[in-house]
Amino acid sequence: MTRYLTEGPVTADRITSEINKLSLRKDCGGHSIFLGQVRDDLSEGIRIGAIEYSAYEEMVNAEAGKIKKIIFTEFSDVLEIVILHAIGKVMAGEISMFVLVSAGHRDHATRACRQTVELIKERLPVWKKEIFDDETHKWQENG
């Protein structure tokens, strides 16, 4: 599996592990984290119980690399970018995506994190199937 995908939800242990690595760098002054979570929305009166994610793994590698290049170019103070997306089943309340951007200062960290999330939604070849409490499902797409 590519380093940008993880089977099942992104766990607290994995997030903690990435945060622990931050102390290895002494040139960063700010880190911005985004966590995407599965919400138990209602769709036509039926509650979403989980989302099942699938991905084109090879292309995820290629596109995540391009996203990072775009961000490093646009935000010169950014030093590290971590992108991790769940594949497989993620229950409502669990984490489906983790983005961590480290920079010399907070301005680029926060703005670059936001931009990274937007580029992931636009470019990463990932699909999601909403699974409802009655076991029916519906494919979704980003707006």
Positions touching another protein (CB under 8 A) are 36, 53-56, 58-59, 62, 85, 97, 117, 120-129, 139-142
Instruction: Name the minimum Å distance from CB 96 to another protein.
Output: 8
Instruction: Name the minimum Å distance from CB 17 to another protein.
Output: 22
Of 94 and 104, CB closest to another protein: 94
Of 15 and 59, CB closest to another protein: 59
DSSP the chain: --TTEEESSBPHHHHHHHHHHGGG-SS--EEEEEEEE----EETTEEEEEEEEEE-HHHHHHHHHHHHHHHHHH-TTEEEEEEEEEEEEEETTSEEEEEEEEESSHHHHHHHHHHHHHHHHHH--EEEEEEETTS-EEEE---
Instruction: Name the minimum Å distance from CB 89 to another protein.
Output: 15
Instruction: Name the minimum Å distance from CB 114 to another protein.
Output: 12
Of 14 and 29, CB closest to another protein: 14
Of 89 and 123, CB closest to another protein: 123
